[in-house]
Amino acid sequence: MSITDILYTVIAGGLLGALGQGIRIAVGLKKLSDYNAQQVASGNAPEKMDTGRLWVSIFIGFVAGAIGMIIKGASLKTADGYQTEAIVTIIAIGYAGADFIEGFFQTYFSKVNAAAPVTITATPPVTVSVEKATSSPVSVDEEPELVADEYTPQHNNALG
């Protein structure tokens, strides 16, 4: 199998996956139509379709079909013709795989968004005043006085 054959097989898998996702979209559009009919009947505004999400969904179906074709590792065409079972399998992978991938990301992003928001509050400015002590003036040139009984050298007897 040459590289072009592999590329054609993966692209065919992606297109079949996008077809499977298209079937899923058709079902979703029917549900949206029924929901909007209920909304209009009750006097509410209908919900609009998000075309950006539609295209992302088709792309996810393409990727799921391509991955499915790579995992399956077989060609759709045999000496007798096309393998109907393999074609239906890749379409189903596009349908269910896209549903799985979107569900996974929806769950992941809902967990990220549900995390406690980080609140950063500013602390009030701190005012520092330095006052000069007047009780006993100390000059900078004076060194501190050493007291003899504060330092007692210790012998290291641990080494024997």
Q: What is the pLDDT of residue 155?
A: 55
How far is C-alpha 99 from the chain's CA centre? Answer: 16
**Structure tokens that stand for 69 in this block:** 């074709």
Q: What is the pLDDT of residue 3?
A: 87
* 139 lies in some domain: no
* 154 lies in some domain: no
* 109 lies in some domain: no
Amino acid, single-letter form, for residue 63 = V
Cα-based distances in Å from 12 to 6, 18, 94, 95, 145: 10, 10, 12, 15, 89
Q: What is the pLDDT of residue 141?
A: 64
Three-state SS at 77: strand
The residue segments making up the domain with residue 88 are 3-104
Series of mean pLDDT values for 10-residue runs along the chain (160 residues)? 84 92 90 89 86 88 90 72 81 83 78 66 67 58 61 54
* Nearby residues of 90 by Cβ (< 8 Å), 6 or more positions away: 13, 16, 17, 20, 65, 68, 69, 72, 76
* 117 lies in some domain: no
* Nearby residues of 66 by Cβ (< 8 Å), 6 or more positions away: 10, 11, 13, 14, 17
Distance, in Å, from the CA atom of 14 to the CA atom of 91, rounded to the nearest integer, reads 9
* 54 lies in some domain: yes
**Could you give the number of structural domains in the chain?**
1
* 89 lies in some domain: yes
* 152 lies in some domain: no
* 44 lies in some domain: yes
